[in-house]
Structure 1
């Protein structure tokens, strides 16, 4: 059997089962006597083993089988749940993840697992025998064989088969209730049927089976002259097939009734059959879609947005009522379509959060600390492109909080705290943004020490340091190479890598803020856009050139008098609602030649980066517009203060200003 077509299904299901095992082990550590949790881990391991064996990944199957044996001892209480046992099992899951990752990258899943296998064997030592995991599973009761309504053609086929001495069977196949993709299992079973005989009819229909519109079992009317024991064994070897029941059937021919059917010889009450057939399960309402297809859909839609902008411009020059109404309807429809497509790309952030519980457990043991991780809002959704980029910054911030934020149990007790530190990972929506917060109840940030180090490293001057707010002082730890640690560890360092975290988040159009209180704790708050591909921007004019400023970074627009501008330390500034903010002239930044006419009023766009504001002087405002963000390619990736470009409705290219680079 060619297994390549099932590879994507295998990879998706493998990661899901590994995550179930990982979460189950973490919960088992908190409740060592929870047999239900052990059974859940066992089921996930059993499913993974079956899939690996079917796909031919022997090393993966072998390690999972050995892990199953240990789990079987745990659920039968022949082996206690200890820290050592859990450590070995976590190592086993890590090895399994490494093998699946190898398969994802085009490998064959081969890995030297000798050390882990020896550790698992040691856990089994002392037992007189190893219980085969599959024997202890509870086999669900399969539904009784139903009846098949046959048409004339199907009846003719059956009569010809009987005349040739072939047998007709009603075969019931029961699939594990925990199976995630039943349609794939059905496909494998039908391949076996086709190699051994002919399927005349199925109940439910083939279409319903493909759409998973059935519960945990299905029937087929099957003609064969092959050995039934061999056939049954082949089907039972398919991963997650729980039971196979084969019954020879006879045809009840009754022309008077006009209702031709094949009825099983098993005694099943007619009323019960009718009742079962009426309880049709609800069809699955979700499907797996390759992200590349969604990317292609988004690219096509982006082109449509550009054309929509062109049509909207044409309505200003073409005075035709029908044309204008058609464009208006198209605009409304495309806006709704845009929302649908963006929602299709949204992924729950728990895909990122899921990796952290085990990481926290491992690091806390390594550092001799007691840490309780609380995850809130894991169901919060973000665009897939943002999800792919946010993982590494969060890993560093959490490692940073564990290493330098939360104290040792002895230090916490001296400070009259609980010896168990608390680390909270929180995500939530607010407007068109998602906020992710990492909060610890550790020692906090010593702002005096940070400021002293900043002065020593000449990150800030003596004069500027006296004007910094507490939050601005905390942000100094995200300067390049900045660290207040007395000793550099290989786990993290405040400042060693935090500049990379900051740059990554800002490259996503987001921002990061720090709030801390000495001896109480620290909170890192990350603000991210919901999506990166289609944004709302303010179009501005600089002589003959058009630029776009993302609306998410704009605080306010204003027209100010020349008399309102004054200088402080050689920098032009204005008083904006009681706060002195610097001004940046976009003409000077992008070297746009201006007319020599002296201006008395200026158009200003006030932009924000964190808690800092800057006014951008522009020639004029055009208006708000939804634009498609396009990158500039590898050759122009380092252009100062430009984050990308967009194509306007008239075909003109407008550069998108990176306001983060201009905020002073």
Structure 2
């Protein structure tokens, strides 16, 4: 196995461990006396540290080790959990996530963790606070670390045997210092009297040319004590800060690792009498699975798509030739390919839990920032969606949840005054219905002020004063999705800096979905997202416009009907029909797509109309004929045919003809 394969495995497993740590930390915050939770977090952190060290990401391993030390104190009851300690551990996890993300993007996994390391060290040993605080003051001092090779390590180890000390010294000069090279030379003079300088960072030549900011580091062998060295260097004019850290020998480091392994051999989990069976019963059975690159699944889906096209072609040949053997073979192939399609689609399906898992931690942090008490309830996390949709749905949900926390839920004081519980509730729910998945974001906050939305809509010119008189509540709430629309009195970083919900709507519709909102003033709001199960293979109705064939996805079709030509009337310049007690505007596809009329075409007395819906609005698409339903493969039109009006892609039919797939959403404003 190559390094890249190991790296990919490391990144995936690191994400799993980080998610587990986040989940367990939230449980620990709610139940701080449960040591079994601390043990679970410790195991994940220790595994992550070991993997990082094995892959050579020492900074990541070091930070995780510092966090692990704090967890070790917690699980051995040497430390009491407080809100401040939890905040520090959560921040540490955030830094580790940043490092893993940096590695995933091709970086080296380095971050400026000076401050968080200081906080972790301070928890472990408050007496170290003074030295570590000096270290945290200057970021540059932290980054100017010295890397020792094997020869230097051997020299240090030999010197230590004869009573010397190895010090790594960071010297920071005053920002106003004019002749930095001269001050650095004076520092070196003092150090050469105290011991032997082994190494500098940056190199001496660079320091002499003032090729450094304000800080440089020195590796020194000296019999003197650290406090004496620090005191003498601070006597040098314009030296602002001196940090002296004694370096341990290599053997000491090995002893520490051995100690960790010995602790692992002994079972760190305290046994609880009478609860052993219940603990073991809580362990989840390990499923047998392998990780598959999503690109390989995409390739498999593309190959199967070609098979679907060939199947359609064979079905047509079988109908035309009337050969029994061919017909039977095609029917068998259809059954097999249908099962294969279901299997491939299921392989691409992943639970929305992968997206939902990020929100408990996010809500915990936002609740603290907003000073609100918030409970998140997740329902239907096992609901499955196509991996492509899963990858894209996260950002819209983040925006909706932030919006619910910032604008939806009242402050604790306001909730008490309204007779509501102090703790506001946000419900994140997912469920299947037909060929769609619905995701709801619900809050029990103050709801949406209809008049305020309407007033803002009129002010921004989204709706006229005359039209506003006849709008239903649902139509008023839909104004929230207009570009740049925001009713916030004060723009904040929480709910998107006043960007509005139009970004959410655009993303959802690009996935072939729809979003709607319902609200009751004083009781809360519900944002509902409707998404297709899959984006690759869809059921569509094939229709004919003159000599051209088009496909309309089933999920947007309400009904197909035919009306007499004389039933079409013109209202305000728009041709409409009366359909099921409502006025439905008509769209003539032949005119929209500029399809030339067929030769010798005679005017028909009846029109075929496909009624399509978007939200609570409907339009009728006028077509020449309906060919029937068919399973089609959605193909992109490529980079040369972008932004075509009302066209979302194309498919290849059984006879080899290309049919464009109509995006009916674009006909409805």
TM tier, smaller: 0.7 to 0.9
Q: Is the 8 A contact 1:510 1:528 kept in 2?
A: yes
2:543 maps to what in 1? 540
1:602 maps to what in 2? 607
Which of the residues 334, 338, 341 maps onto 1:335?
338
Q: Map 1:4-23 to 2 at 5 A.
A: 4-23=4-23
2:31 maps to what in 1? 31
Q: Is the 8 A contact 1:641 1:662 kept in 2?
A: yes
2 CA distance for matches of 1:375 and 1:473? 28
Which of the residues 638, 646, 651 maps onto 1:646?
651
* 1:236, distance to aligned residue in structure 2 (A): 8.8
2:428 maps to what in 1? 425
Which of the residues 291, 304, 309 maps onto 1:306?
309
Going from structure 1 to structure 2, the CA distance change for 1:32 and 1:76 (only over 3 Å counts) comes to same
Q: Does 1:81 align with 2:86?
A: no
1:322 maps to what in 2? 325
2:476 maps to what in 1? 473
2:625 maps to what in 1? 620
Q: Deviations over 1:254-275 (max 9, x none)?
A: xxxxxxxxxxxxxxxxxxxxxx
Q: Is the 8 A contact 1:50 1:239 kept in 2?
A: no
Q: Does 1:631 align with 2:631?
A: no
Which of the residues 550, 569, 572 maps onto 2:572?
569
Q: Deviations over 1:426-479 (max 9, x none)?
A: 011111110000000111101111111111111112332222211111010000
1 CA distance for matches of 2:76 and 2:297? 46
1 CA distance for matches of 2:102 and 2:652? 41
Q: Is the 8 A contact 2:70 2:120 kept in 1?
A: yes
Q: How many residues align?
A: 524
SS at match of 2:322: coil
* 1:635, distance to aligned residue in structure 2 (A): 2.5
Which of the residues 390, 393, 398 maps onto 2:393?
390
2:196 maps to what in 1? none
1 CA distance for matches of 2:499 and 2:111? 34
Q: Does 1:519 align with 2:527?
A: no
* 1:567, distance to aligned residue in structure 2 (A): 2.4
2 CA distance for matches of 1:423 and 1:110? 36
5+ residue gaps in structure 1?
129-232, 245-281
* 1:383, distance to aligned residue in structure 2 (A): 0.3
2 CA distance for matches of 1:636 and 1:116? 50
1 CA distance for matches of 2:57 and 2:424? 41
* 1:237, distance to aligned residue in structure 2 (A): 12
Which of the residues 431, 455, 460 maps onto 1:457?
460
Q: Is the 8 A contact 1:404 1:494 kept in 2?
A: no
* 1:83, distance to aligned residue in structure 2 (A): 1.1
2:227 maps to what in 1? none
1 CA distance for matches of 2:22 and 2:99? 15
Q: Does 1:365 align with 2:381?
A: no
Q: Is the 8 A contact 2:447 2:522 kept in 1?
A: yes
Going from structure 1 to structure 2, the CA distance change for 1:496 and 1:4 (only over 3 Å counts) comes to closer
SS at match of 1:645: strand
Going from structure 1 to structure 2, the CA distance change for 1:467 and 1:325 (only over 3 Å counts) comes to same
Going from structure 1 to structure 2, the CA distance change for 1:122 and 1:519 (only over 3 Å counts) comes to same
Q: Is the 8 A contact 1:423 1:440 kept in 2?
A: yes
5+ residue gaps in structure 2?
129-254, 267-284
Q: Is the 8 A contact 1:50 1:238 kept in 2?
A: no
1 CA distance for matches of 2:375 and 2:45? 27
1 CA distance for matches of 2:396 and 2:405? 14
* 1:284, distance to aligned residue in structure 2 (A): 5.6
Q: Is the 8 A contact 1:607 1:663 kept in 2?
A: no
SS at match of 2:629: strand
Q: Does 1:106 align with 2:111?
A: no
Q: Does 1:72 align with 2:72?
A: yes
1 CA distance for matches of 2:337 and 2:64? 49
Q: Is the 8 A contact 2:399 2:496 kept in 1?
A: no
**Greater helix percent: which structure?**
2
Going from structure 1 to structure 2, the CA distance change for 1:367 and 1:283 (only over 3 Å counts) comes to closer
2:506 maps to what in 1? 503
SS at match of 1:541: strand
Going from structure 1 to structure 2, the CA distance change for 1:612 and 1:38 (only over 3 Å counts) comes to same
Q: Is the 8 A contact 2:514 2:531 kept in 1?
A: yes
TM-score (norm 1): 0.76
SS at match of 1:337: helix
- CA RMSD in angstroms comes to 2.4
1 CA distance for matches of 2:342 and 2:107? 38
Going from structure 1 to structure 2, the CA distance change for 1:307 and 1:495 (only over 3 Å counts) comes to farther
Q: Is the 8 A contact 1:644 1:656 kept in 2?
A: yes
The farther-off stretch of 349-358 and 339-348 is: 349-358
Going from structure 1 to structure 2, the CA distance change for 1:582 and 1:91 (only over 3 Å counts) comes to same
TM-score (norm 2): 0.75
Q: Deviations over 1:100-125 (max 9, x none)?
A: 11111112212221111001011112
2 CA distance for matches of 1:469 and 1:333? 49
Q: Map 1:132-531 to 2 at 5 A.
A: 285-492=288-495, 496-531=499-534
Q: Is the 8 A contact 1:485 1:494 kept in 2?
A: no
2 CA distance for matches of 1:494 and 1:283? 43
